[in-house]
Amino acid sequence: MKAALVRSRTYSEVKMLIPHPVLGLRDAREFAYLGDARLIDRPDPSAPDAEAAFCDYVYLRDNPAGAHRELWFHEHGDHSWLVVTRNTITHEILGAELAHDVALARKRSVK
């Protein structure tokens, strides 16, 4: 009896392209996913509620269905950090920004 060939859908068959702001479209396999982009907003250690804020910062994560901002590191490229907006249901990449620019913009808007 011959074994039947089974084709499975693998990561390599589903190509996710990330629009790198400097380098253009890049394959997602060049990047390392590093989690929720809210990690850019580290709590103030001198705040009165610092212990609770750091507990939330380290252990609590949202798991949204739909558009979500994530940190990606261009590991096999220019070593830049990106904030990528990705639909968690369809895996469609909706946009990408340099994390440095996002962090600077947030600091300006806080002041």
Domains of the chain: 2-110 (3.30.2270.10)
Task: Give yes or no for residue 30 having a pLDDT over 60.
Answer: yes
Cα 82 to Cα 102: distance, rounded to the nearest angstrom: 9
pLDDT (tens digit, 9 = 90+) per residue, 44-90? Answer: 999 999 999 999 988 888 888 999 999 999 999 999 999 999 999 99
Task: Give, in order, the Cα–Cα distances in Å from 2 to each of 5, 6, 7, 108.
Answer: 9, 12, 16, 66
Using the 8-state DSSP alphabet, how is residue 23 labeled? Answer: T
pTM: 0.76
Measured in Å, how far apart are the chain's first and last C-alpha atoms? Answer: 73
Helix, strand, coil percentages in the chain from 3-state DSSP, rounded to 5: 30, 30, 40
pLDDT (tens digit, 9 = 90+) per residue, 92-110? Answer: 999 999 999 998 887 765 4
Q: Tell me the H-state helices in 60-110.
A: 99-110
Question: Any idea which residue has 């558009």 for tokens?
Answer: 67
Q: Residue 78: its pLDDT value, please?
A: 96
Please give the biggest Cα pair distance in the chain. Answer: 73
